[in-house]
Amino acid sequence: MQEREKMLNGECYNPNCDELVADRLNAKKLCMQYNSLSPFQQEEKKEILISLLGNYGRDSVIEPNFFCDYGYNIEFDGFVYINHNSVFLDCAKIKVGDNTFIGPNCGFYTAIHPLKAEERNKGIESAKPITIGKNVWIGGGVTILPDVTIGNGAVIGAGSVVTKDIPSNVVAVGNPCKVIKKIEQ
C-alpha cells in the first residue's frame, strides 16, 4: 500500500515519501499564489481554491493568508467563511458544513505524532479526521485537534482548544473546550 493510501485510511504512514512531499509542495505553491492575489481578483482566487480543495462548496470565502498541507482532504458542504490566517493541516479529512463561519487565526490539525521519542524520530505519523457541522460559528484563535466532531449550530468561543467532540446547539469555550450552555432553538 502506498503512503498516501495509508494516510487516507488513518494508518501510520511516512509523510516524507516522494509522493506526499510533492503533494504538499503543490498545495503550498497554490496557497502562495492564492495569498498573493489582490482582493479584486476574485475569479482567480476561486479557480485556485477549486483546484486546491477536495470540495470548495458554494461561493465560499477564504481570507488570506490561508495555509494547508494537501488541500484535497478539505471539503466544504456549502457556503463557508474563513477569516484571515487559517491553517488546515489536512493529513486526514477536514469536513466543514454549510453556513459555517470561522474566525481569524484558527488551526485545524489532523496529524497525530507518536508519544514515544524513538518512534516519533522515525518520522512516522497517523491522522484522524475533523468534522464541523452546519451553522457553526468558530471564534478567533480556536485550535481543533484530530478526531473531533463539532455538531450543527454549535458556537466555539474565541481562544478555545477543542480536544473532544462538541454536541449540536451548544456554546463551548476554554482549554480544553467544554460546553457552558445549550442554545435554545
pLDDT in tens, 64-115: 999 999 999 999 999 999 999 999 999 999 999 999 999 999 999 999 999 9
pLDDT tens per residue across span 56-69? 998 899 999 999 99
* Position 65, amino acid: N
Contacts of 168 (CB under 8 A, 6+ apart): 133, 151, 152, 153, 154
The cell numbers describing 149, all together, are 466532531
Q: How many domains does one find in the chain?
A: 1
pLDDT tens per residue across span 13-70? 999 999 999 999 999 999 999 999 999 999 999 999 999 999 999 889 999 999 999 9
**Residue 184 Cα distances to 149, 152, 153, 169, angstroms:** 20, 13, 10, 7
Active site residues: 113
- What's residue 176's pLDDT? 98
- What's residue 58's pLDDT? 85
pLDDT category, 185, cuts 50, 70, 90?
confident
Look at the block and give the residue holding cell 488570506. 64
Percent share of the chain, pLDDT over 90: 96
Q: How does 12-21 read in b/e, with b if 16+ C-beta sit within 10 Å? A: ebebebeebe
Among residues 50, 61, 77, the alpha carbon closest in space to that of 135 is found at 77
Look at the block and give the residue holding cell 474566525. 103
pLDDT category, 1, cuts 50, 70, 90?
confident
Domain holding 164, by residue range, is 3-182
CB atoms within 10 A of CB 41: 13
147 three-state secondary structure:
coil
Instruction: Say which CATH number the domain at 114 has.
Output: 2.160.10.10
pTM of the model as a whole: 0.96
The cell numbers describing 87, all together, are 491553517
